[in-house]
Structure 1
């Protein structure tokens, strides 16, 4: 009831739990649908000095000597330290199936050819929208203290925004186990090490209650997705950093000593002694302005909503540790994504002039496609990347195309000289040799010349089955087929008449014409059965990323 006097337990420095005076202002019915909350104001001088503090979420509140609930949200920038309190009976229902239903978070399209950039954009848009719906005013944001530099945080800003995280560059490491108690107590530090190791990102809150091995905390959702498997640790608070708009607890995580098993609207529930699944992440960075190769070894939490963006943020942060990308830049990268059940996906490609978008969408899009696939659960075990940043622009455009002859016979070879003009008007000629089939029909034919973007579009239209997953194994093959398309490759493609059939990813090019016609009859057509488009292709790696395309026509005469 209003004007009741009580206190909360929390840590403002070190690991010592202290009492902080509070006064009840009101009970707010339906603060969220079906959920009441208690509105309190801090009366302790320390609370008044700092205002509402991110990281106090979960701090247990006592009224009349009994635990009434946990601090859960507040108004950052408020002149008074105001907090909403989640009643304790709501929190003790976490993991019992009595909370609100968990809404779907992300739906990705698996019916079309894989497009990793489009997948990444759709994923981040849906996750950001979902998290904004859960917390439209940012009242329940956890402070995420990270070892990334301010410039690295800025470089990865859009990915932190996707995750609904407010990163703080504070050089977080892991406190030594000798200085860290493995016990949890009401009011103690509760840390979620999302990334640990050479790069760290950890969300900090407070323990509400401990019942046996069960640890309740936060008083609000982290993602609200229900059953989870996230790392749980204690920690230490170095200080509370006051701010005009936002105050936060500057913390360090202790060793992982348990796993958070439920993430629901009323808070989180962890189990001491449980072992969470983690992804091993290794990033090796070579930069034009750093004489030494830098290696970062980390472990990343497994969480559908945030794992892809955590890996992207760690990657971008690692590459940006020693400076931003230069205006004219080239990024070469290679690596491997090790999965359970699908084996290894391999990356090897290059980008130029597009910032981190290409490498980030390749890595993030592949993880997203695997984690949200509808065919079966896939465990990601490790991700290893080697990244080389050079101060160079390798983008180019096709200025002209010359062919050896515009009139040819079947079986002859067409020579194609492609003049490329790259940055600062540098020109180079690339020669492609396209061998015409012996059975090529007479008539006019068109040869398309393009870079990787044009070839990917061609493949999506002419052979969509190669880039489409119909089950888990074919999804793995589709992802690898796409990742194998290099951006610094030049292609010449001559389309041929369709011959044969495809059944999912199986190609049947040598079917007799009569058999093919019978199988294509609408009454006999099986799902995923399509006529098989044929083409011939020549390619060469000119060390340039070709941005446009051109076409030439040739005439094929009777042999």
Structure 2
């Protein structure tokens, strides 16, 4: 009888716009060891199939207000495959009532024993805030994959298949450790490669069906797969665990079909491909992801153009990627790295120059340029640092800086372009207000190359007597000073953030920083040198104190090499 009811439910769900009443929910307190139930998932194509679940017990309070139902699964291919990656979210029912979703498993287990996330925890986690479009938020590093101690073994979240199509193998190897640590299993191939189609038949996702969260589409594509747990009206819950626990988000999802299963002792997963667009994931919480059926998501257009220093036809990549405080910077890094790796060598000496442009919601586009040169790993360095301004924007929380489009022009050279600071000196050791001091710099490159640059600084009228310092430095060192101040006093407005981003120093020139050894204050993101004692006392409670006072910064002429090194020289100011 139960199988007949299940078959009728599946057939009803296959209609174009069919909707069924959501099943009753079974409280965790009613779930007892020895009970048997049925789960739903897809093993082949788009057909939802049934598997069996025998309740072994309840692991109570394994986390803050979290409990896990332990169950032994059977049926279908599970005896051979064990718990599959891609099964996350598969609903389990007892007497027709939904108890939760398959969400965790034991690594290297000989039996398909799973941890089931109680459905009440899934719904509560995703209903803490509204399912309205998300505001920008301050970001953080990728969270670690959750795990719970169960005796001497560890119960871990089932890894989410993270399909990457069009990416080079080195990209998977380079970013794999970061992704796996976050519970995402990078796989090169099919799922991300398919392009979802419009939902012209007005299909609705059903519990047990596969979905693919589409993070990037186009010439490079990324998708993450799981299973639908519960549908109530136009609301949907899936996975049974977090994606990245990013909170409110905006990620489109599509229905997916299973092409085949790959079974192994260490890693068994579903190989799937996306089909029709279905809606948008709006919540990414610790116990579930949740969203709305039929809702559309605005993606960020991304264009990469790759050129060689020696000439030849450029190579273009065009994609759309999600606007998410955690995923956007990561996806951009992977795309930049892969674009260079797929057509250029990533080992050995080399240099990469990047010109970037970001269209934002309000105001003119933000632009930045950078050159990266290294004996080994220039593309890796480029991918991380070229994406840093984008990470700052998506995590800033300022609506006017919401990214609307990104364009990167990349030039690759097979030789290093590096100049190291060899010497720095001043034209005079003593000076008075009104005098001009010339700072001379000498930079050394390969094969005995020497490059000299000079900068002039006029001592301001009224400057008090004492030592005046000139630090000749490179862009990273100068940015570290500015970035340290940025951390202690984050920008309070979009205008300050825009000034900070546009003021980032570029590595293909040196800088002369003029400063004195006297305290200054950082107030609302602005440096205030030489504060009178009375004003300093008033501002002390709302400011950060800095040990040195920056007076000026003079950029040296720009070139096509990466400048490195730092040296400080001193001039004594006389009355």
Q: Deviations 1:439-463 (Å, cap 9, x if unpaired)? A: 57888755432222344456679x9
* Alignment partner, residue 340 of structure 1: 361
Structure 1 unaligned spans of 5+: 100-105, 109-122
- Pick one of 47, 54, 59 that aligns with 1:23: 54
* Aligned positions, number: 526
Contact 2:182-2:244 at 8 Å conserved across structures = no
- 2:346 pairs with 1:325: yes
How many Å apart are 1:363 and its aligned residue?
4.5
Alpha-carbon offset, residue 405 of structure 1:
6.1
Name the CA distance, whole Å, in 1 between partners of 2:63 and 2:486: 46
| Deviation of 1:177 (Å) | 2.8
Report Cα offsets for 1:168-203 as digits up to 9, x if no partner: 111432245389974312221111112222211111
Mapped to 2, the partners of 1:221 and 1:292 lie a distance apart of 43
2:117 maps to which of 82, 86, 109: 86
Query: What are the within-5 Å matches in structure 2 for residues 144-155 of structure 1?
Result: 144-147=162-165, 148-155=167-174
- Give the match for residue 544 of structure 1: 561
- The answer on whether the counterparts of 1:144 and 1:167 sit within 8 Å (CA) in structure 2 is yes
CA distance in 1, matches of 2:558, 2:221: 38
Pairwise CA distance, 1:502: 9.0
The residue number in structure 1 matching 2:318 is 297
Q: Which residue pairs with 2:294 in the alignment?
A: 273
TM-score by length of structure 2 reads 0.77
Distance in 2, Cα, partners of 1:90 & 1:538: 56
Please tell me whether residue 480 in structure 1 is matched to residue 497 in structure 2. Answer: no
Query: C-alpha deviations, 1:418-472, integer Å up to 9, x for none?
Result: 332224x4321313142534857888755432222344456679x9899951323
- Secondary structure in 2 matching 1:347: strand
Alignment gaps of 5+ in structure 2? 1-31, 131-136
The whole-number CA distance in structure 2 between the counterparts of 1:347 and 1:504 is: 24
SS at match of 1:177: coil
State the alpha-carbon separation in 2 of the partners of residues 87 and 343 from structure 1. Answer: 49
Aligned equivalent of 2:335: 314
Given the alignment of the two structures, is residue 57 of structure 1 paired with residue 88 of structure 2, yes or no?
A: yes
Structure ranking higher on relative contact order (CA contacts 8 Å, 6+ apart)? 1
Q: Distance in 2 between matches of 1:465 and 1:304?
A: 18
Deviation, 1:204, is 0.5
Task: From 158, 174, 178, give the equivalent of 1:140.
Answer: 158
Q: Following the alignment from structure 1 to structure 2, what is the Cα–Cα distance between the partners of residues 175 and 248?
A: 21
Deviation at 1:234, TM superposition (A): 0.7
3-state DSSP of counterpart to 2:503: helix
Residue 160 of structure 1 corresponds to 179
In structure 2, relative to structure 1, the CA distance for the partners of 1:553 and 1:93 (3 Å cut) is closer
The structure-2 alpha-carbon separation of the partners of 1:289 and 1:30, relative to structure 1 and needing over 3 Å to count, comes to farther
Deviation at 1:487, TM superposition (A): 0.5
The residue aligned with 1:177 is 197
Offset of residue 247 of structure 1: 0.9
Shift of 1:402: 5.9
In the superposition, the TM-score normalised over structure 1's length comes to 0.79
Q: Sort the Cα spacing of 1:149 and 1:456 in 2 relative to 1 into closer, same or farther, 3 A.
A: closer
Q: CA RMSD in A?
A: 4.1
1: CA distance between counterparts of 2:215 and 2:574? 65
Residues 26, 528 of structure 1: alpha-carbon distance in 2 compared, 3 angstrom cutoff: closer
- Equivalent residue of 1:229, what SS? strand
More off after superposition, 270-279 vs 436-445: 436-445
Q: Following the alignment from structure 1 to structure 2, what is the Cα–Cα distance between the partners of residues 387 and 3? A: 61
1:542–1:366: structure 2 CA closer, same or farther, 3 Å change rule? closer
Aligned partners of 1:62 and 1:370: how far apart in 2?
Answer: 44
2:279 is matched with 258
Q: Does 1:431 align with 2:448?
A: no
